Structure 1
Amino acid sequence: MSRTLLFACDLSAENRAAFARAIRLANETGARLDVVHVLDPYLPRRVLHDLEEAVVADIAATLTDIREDYALAEPANLIQTVAGAPYAEIIREAHEREADMIILGAHRKRGQPDLVTGTTLARVLRGAPCPVLSVSHPATQSWQDILVPVDFSLTCRRTLRETLKRFPESRLTLLHAWNIPGERELGSSSDYARWRDREVATLRRHLEQETEQLMGELERVPEVELELEQGDPLDVLLTRLRRQPPQLLALGSRGQLGRQSQITERLLAEPHCDVMLCRSW
C-alpha cells in the first residue's frame, strides 16, 4: 500500500516552511502528498464553489514556487478543499486517507504558551491517528540531527520506534533526565556517590538494552547516541534545546516526561526546532 502524507495548508506566509518540508518528505519517502485546505462551511454555496477553485489554483502555484525555490522535484500529489471545523476535518481526512503523517505549520503566537491549547495544531495533536509534524524552520536540508527524550514508558518506545523507522539515515540523540533521591542531602558523601554511580550505570545499561532491542527489529537504523543528565525532565529538555537545538525533536503526545501538557505548550509556543509528536497507542 502506498504511503500518504497529509499537509494541512492554511495559505499563510508562515505556512510556507511547512509546505516545503512536506514536499521534501514526500520526495524522500516516495509518499503521495495530499494537500488539504479547510473552508468556512457557513459561506454561501456559490461563494464556496468559486473559492474552492481559487484556493486550489493558489496552492498549486505555491507548490510550484516552493519547488523552484528549494530545487525540489514534484511528488505525486492531490490538492483538495473541504468545509468544516479545521481541526475536525484534518483529523477526519487523516483517518479516511490512512495518512502516515500529518504536517502543519507552527503555532503563530510565539512566546505565549497559554494561547496554544485551543489552536488547530493543539487539537489535531490530541486526536490525530498518526504522528504530527509541527514545522517552523526552513526545509533547506533533510533532518540529520534528531533529539528523542526517552524514559521507560510505552509512549517513549513507540516514539523511538517511529523515529528509527522513518529516519534511518539520521543521527539520533536519546536524552534521559534522571533524579536520584538524596543528592542534595548526601551529595558530598563518598558512599552515596558510589551508590549513585552504580544506579546511573544500571540506568544506562537498561536504556541501551531497550534501544538495542528496538534497533534489532528494524532493517535500517541510524547512528544513536545516549545522553544522561540529572535534573527535572522538563528543565533538562528545555535547557538542551536552548543550548544545542536539534533539527527535529521527536516526542510522545501523552505520558512523556510527566508534565506533558506543559512541555507541549512550551515547545509549540517557543519552537527551537521542528517537532514530531507521536501518539502513545
Structure 2
Amino acid sequence: MRLQTIVALTDFSTAAEHALDRAALLAAEHKARLHLLFGAEQPDPKFVDPQARLEQRARQLARRHDLPVKALAYRGAGVVDEVLRAAVGADLLVLDKRAHQGVEQLWRGGTLSQILRRSPCPVLVVQRAAREAYAHVLLAVDFSPAADAMVRYASGLDTAAAVELFHAVDLRDEAKLRSAEASAQAVRAWRAQMQRHAHDRLVRLSDAFEARRNRVGMTVGMGDVARQVAVQQERSRAELVALMHRRRGWMLDLLLGSVAQRLLGGVGCDVLVYPHDYAGAAPRGTTAQPRVARRWTQAI
C-alpha cells in the first residue's frame, strides 16, 4: 500500500504543527504529494495573512523532506466543508485533536467529530510530537469484511513498525448467560471458546501482511472496545492506534457516542480512524501473501 496524496490541516497552533510534521514524515515515507490547508474555528488575530504563512510552511516542509508540498487556497466555506472538499481523492487526512465548538456544534459535534463522520478517506488524529517513524502500531480490529483492508492500510503506513492485532470480545452474550443463571464453569468455558475463536480470526487476518514483515503480535481482550484498546495501548506503549469507524448520523453520535471519540479521550497517542465503507485503500497490484512469523499471542 502506498499513499499518493496526503492532506494536512493546520491553524498554526502547536498541536496542529505536530500534525503537519507527522503528515510530512508519512509523505516522505510514501513519496506522496502533501497538501496543506489552513482552517481555524477561532482565527488568531496575530496571523493577519494565514495563506501567506501557509505557503511559507509548505516551502519549509518541501525543502526539509524533499517532497512536493502545495498550500491549498481557503475559500471561506467553513472549516469542515473546506476539509471535506480537500480530502476528496486523497488517501489520508491528517489533523490535530480539535475541541473548539460553536453554537451549532453543541448538537452536531465539534469539528473533529463532524470530519470523522463525513470524511471520504481515513483520518489520522495526531496527539504527539512527530519526531520519528512509528515503532509500534496497535490495530483494533473487528471481523467484518472490511477488516482485511483496514489491516493492510494501517500496517502499511510504516512498514518498519511492529504491529499488534487486537480484538475485544463483546461480553453482552456473557451477560445473557449470567442472567439465565448459568454456572461459573459454563461462563468460563464460554470465555475460553470466544478467546480461541478470536485468536483464530486474528491469525487469518495476519495473512494480509506482506511476507517481509516479521513483527506481528495478537492480543484478545474482553469487554468494552474503547476501554480495552486504551488499556492495551498503555501496556504496549504503541505510538499509533488504528480502528474501524462505522458512520452514523449526528443524532446517534450525540446520544450514544462513538468508539473513535471515546478512544481519543482515553489515549494520548495518535489515532487512525478508518471509515468502514472506505473503498480507496485497496493494495495496488497485490495478491495473496504467505503467512508471516508471529512473535507473541496473549489474552488480557
By the TM > 0.5 criterion, same fold? Answer: yes
Distance 1:219 1:200, change over 3 A: closer
1:19 to partner: Cα distance: 1.1
Partner of 2:282: none
Q: How do 1:61-76 residues align onto structure 2 when only pairs under 5 Å count? A: 61-62=56-57, 72-76=64-68
1:29 to partner: Cα distance: 1.0
Secondary structure of 2:132's match? coil
Partner of 2:268: 272
Partner of 2:203: 208
> Is the helix fraction higher in 1 or 2?
1
Partner of 2:296: none
Q: Which segments of 5 or more consecutive residues in structure 2 lack a partner in the other structure?
A: 42-46, 278-300
Partner of 1:34: 35
Among 143, 157, 160, the residue aligned to 2:148: 157
Count of aligned residue pairs for this structure pair: 255
1:268 to partner: Cα distance: 3.1
Partner of 1:93: 86
Separation of aligned partners in 2, 1:204 and 1:25:
31
Please give the per-residue CA displacement for 1:183-221, whole angstroms capped at 9, x wherever unaligned.
7965743x7645643443233123212332x23xx5654
Partner of 1:43: none
1:106 to partner: Cα distance: 1.4
Percent of aligned pairs sharing the same letter: 24
1:12 to partner: Cα distance: 2.1
Separation of aligned partners in 2, 1:204 and 1:107:
36
1:18 to partner: Cα distance: 0.5
Q: CA RMSD in A?
A: 3.4
Separation of aligned partners in 2, 1:202 and 1:269:
30
Partner of 1:254: 246
Q: How do 1:226-265 residues align onto structure 2 when only pairs under 5 Å count? A: 226-254=218-246, 261-265=257-261
Question: 1:275 is matched by which residue type in structure 2?
Answer: V
1:99 to partner: Cα distance: 1.0
Secondary structure of 2:216's match? strand
Q: How do 1:133-148 residues align onto structure 2 when only pairs under 5 Å count? A: 133-148=124-139
**Contact 1:154–1:280 (Cα < 8 Å) also in 2:** no
Partner of 2:290: none
Please give the per-residue CA displacement for 1:2-59, whole angstroms capped at 9, x wherever unaligned.
811111122223211101111111111101111122489xxxxxxxxx96xx323322
Distance 1:210 1:183, change over 3 A: farther
Among 116, 127, 130, the residue aligned to 2:118: 127
Distance 1:94 1:232, change over 3 A: closer
Partner of 1:8: 9
TM-score norm. by structure 1 comes to 0.76
Question: Which range moves more in the overlay, 227-236 or 194-203?
Answer: 194-203
1:231 to partner: Cα distance: 2.4
Distance 1:194 1:173, change over 3 A: same
TM-score norm. by structure 2 comes to 0.72
Distance 1:187 1:58, change over 3 A: farther
Partner of 1:78: 70
Separation of aligned partners in 2, 1:91 and 1:225:
35
Distance 1:206 1:10, change over 3 A: same
**Contact 1:101–1:133 (Cα < 8 Å) also in 2:** yes
Please give the per-residue CA displacement for 1:98-145, whole angstroms capped at 9, x wherever unaligned.
211111111246xxxx97962222211111111111111010110111
Secondary structure of 1:82's match? coil
Separation of aligned partners in 2, 1:117 and 1:134:
19
Please give the per-residue CA displacement for 1:148-171, whole angstroms capped at 9, x wherever unaligned.
112212343332121133332211
1:78 to partner: Cα distance: 0.8
Question: 1:91 is matched by which residue type in structure 2?
Answer: L
**Contact 2:128–2:270 (Cα < 8 Å) also in 1:** yes
Partner of 1:21: 22
